[in-house]
Amino acid sequence: MILTRCSVLSLRTLTRLPVCSIHTTLRRLNKDFAFVFDIDGVLIRGKKPILQAKPALEILNQHKIPYILMTNGGGVLEKVKADEVTHITGIDPPISPLQVVQSHTPIKALALNYGYNRVLVIGGDGDNAREVAKDYGFQDIILPIDIVNENPAVSPHHRFTEEDFRKYAKPIDVSKPIDAILVLNDPRDMGTDIQIVQDLLNSEVGVLGTKRNIHHIRNLEEPAVPIIFSNNDYLYANDYKLPRFGQGEFRIITEKLYKVTNNLKKHQKLESFILGKPYKIQYDFAHHVLIDWHNKLIKDEHLANHEQVLPQLGTEPEDTPFKKIYMVGDNPESDIKGANDNGWESVLLRTGVYKDDDYDTMIAKPTVGVFNNVEDAVIEILESNGIKV
């Protein structure tokens, strides 16, 4: 169940608790800081653990210091990502789904308020993206494989197999308009996804197989249907020695093709909505999630209570128990810039995208410093806050 407003435990509430609960709660409230960790390049690399991740998280669990994970990755349910990080790092107790903010997690709140009914969902393996969108509350969900299954000529060089069609494709009515495009993760069949997305952006009110007359469009920067990119990272770290292209690559290609198709002028570009780090909307949402997790820790509900308090998308927390939030990441352009822009402390690690040779030319510098690994960073920060490790 998802609640749609955010609240913080007040001191008045504490006065109504039993004495033993008051003392326990107040002791925890004395820790007025929290951590937010990127995942890839900080806790894991691809499917391999970063060895210092487990002891770092164990230290925070031991001292009951709230933390969440915020990644520009996605394409799966938050529970799947939580289980994956738990398994790879070996951390116990396991990471809760309520501690995970993926690039598309704020779409949970978007689904409640924007009234999109029929959506095209891009990215992820198999039909994971359909499962995510359904879990978020969307009812009529289309994948590119559904469209190709109806008419393979839509993407003559598609990479889907007969087994893919049998396992993942759903019958659809292609005559019904699509309300929005949600890019939840990196495309798996780039050629197909590029073609279908461009078709819809330039369609007649979202109907597949149609093309609008650009001479009758007042604002050519506005597409026929809105497109939402869940993150803007064009590089990320996995277990290869060099960074790999991510969803930001797809956005760049999409924007360029749209510009050429619509003869946009040099200063014009496709209008889109971008989530993920380093944007304020993502950091405000993560702040709300962190407050909710903090409140569950206070009440010892973090293992049993699976109701997540979600904010209205785009709202800042009106009250927070945190004087400092430490964003620990490996990517200066997303983790560090986003933290700095939103008043958080920023911590940069050498275990991912960042290389020391890049320091002088980075878009943003960490406010706390550069560390070899996440354990070193956590220990130094805790000790600077008066907690002996």
Q: What's the pTM?
A: 0.84
Q: Which CATH number does the domain housing residue 282 bear?
A: 3.40.50.1000
Final residue in a domain of this structure, among 274, 291, 326: 274
Do 111 and 221 belong to one domain?
yes
Number of Cβ within 10 Å of residue 358's Cβ equals 11
Is 309 a residue whose pLDDT tops 90? no
Residue found by looking up tokens 């990644």 in the block: 71
Confidence of residue 290 (pLDDT cuts 50, 70, 90): very high
Query: Do residues 85 and 133 both lie within one domain?
Result: no
**pLDDT tier for residue 94 given thresholds of 50, 70 and 90:** very high
Same domain, yes or no: 126 and 239: yes
What 8-state DSSP symbol labels residue 362? Answer: -
pLDDT for 302 = 62
Closest CA to 371 of 39, 100, 49, 52: 52
- Please indicate, yes or no, if residue 344 is contained in any of the structural domains: yes
Which pLDDT tens digit goes with each residue over 257-277? 999 999 999 999 999 999 999
State residue 347 phi and psi, 5-degree precision: -130, 125
Tell me which residue range forms the domain holding 84.
31-103+278-385
Which tens digits make up the pLDDT trace of 98-115? 999 999 999 988 776 777
Q: Do residues 297 and 365 share a domain?
A: yes
183 within a domain of the structure (yes/no)? yes
The beta-carbon contacts of 55-58 under 8 Å, at least 24 apart in sequence, are 55/375, 56/373, 56/374, 56/375, 56/377, 56/378, 56/379, 57/89, 57/91, 58/91
Amino acid at 160: F
| Number of compact structural domains in the chain | 2
- Examine the domain organization and report whether 200 and 222 are in the same domain: yes
Q: 291 with 358, same domain?
A: yes
Q: What is the pLDDT of residues 201-232, one digit of tens each?
A: 999 999 999 999 998 899 999 999 999 999 98
Of 234, 259, 274, the one marking the end of a domain is 274
Query: What's the pLDDT score for residue 112?
Result: 67
pLDDT band at 303 (very low <50, low <70, confident <90, very high): low
Q: pLDDT tens, 121-134?
A: 999 899 999 999 99
